[in-house]
Chains A and B, each alone.
Chain A
Amino acid sequence: DTGVSQDPRHKITKRGQNVTFRCDPISEHNRLYWYRQTLGQGPEFLTYFQNEAQLEKSRLLSDRFSAERPKGSFSTLEIQRTEQGDSAMYLCASSLGRNGYTFGSGTRLTVV
Chain B
Amino acid sequence: GENVEQHPSTLSVQEGDSAVIKCTYSDSASNYFPWYKQELGKRPQLIIDIRSNVGEKKDQRIAVTLNKTAKHFSLHITETQPEDSAVYFCAARDDTGANNLFFGTGTRLTVIP
A-B pairs with CB below 8 Å: how many?
49
Interface residues on B, range: 20 to 34
Interface centre among B4, B89, B100, B104 (most CB of A within 10 A): B100
* B104 near A42: Cβ-Cβ < 8 Å: yes
Question: Could you list 9 A-B pairs, sorted by A, with CB under 8 Å?
Answer: A33-B99, A42-B4, A42-B91, A44-B103, A45-B100, A56-B99, A101-B34, A104-B43, A105-B42
Determine if A91 is an interface residue (Cβ-Cβ < 8 Å). yes
Q: Main SS of chain A's interface residues?
A: strand
CB-based nearest B residue for A58 = B100
Q: Mark B71-112, 1 if CB is under 8 A from A, else 0.
A: 000000000000000000101000100111111111000000
* A91 near B102: Cβ-Cβ < 8 Å: no
Shortest CB-to-CB span from A13 to chain B, Å, is: 20
Known contacts A31-B99, A48-B100, A98-B95; A41 and B43 CB within 8 A of each other = no
Could you say which of B43, B95, B102 contacts A103, with CB atoms under 8 Å apart? B43
Shortest CB-to-CB span from A32 to chain B, Å, is: 11
Shortest CB-to-CB span from B50 to chain A, Å, is: 14
Complex: A40 Cα to B6 Cα, angstroms: 12
The interface residues of chain A lying within 8 Å CB-to-CB of B89 are 42-43
Known contacts A48-B99, A55-B99, A98-B99; A42 and B105 CB within 8 A of each other = yes
Shortest CB-to-CB span from A12 to chain B, Å, is: 16
The interface residues of chain B lying within 8 Å CB-to-CB of A4 are 43
Could you say which of B6, B101, B104 contacts A101, with CB atoms under 8 Å apart? B101
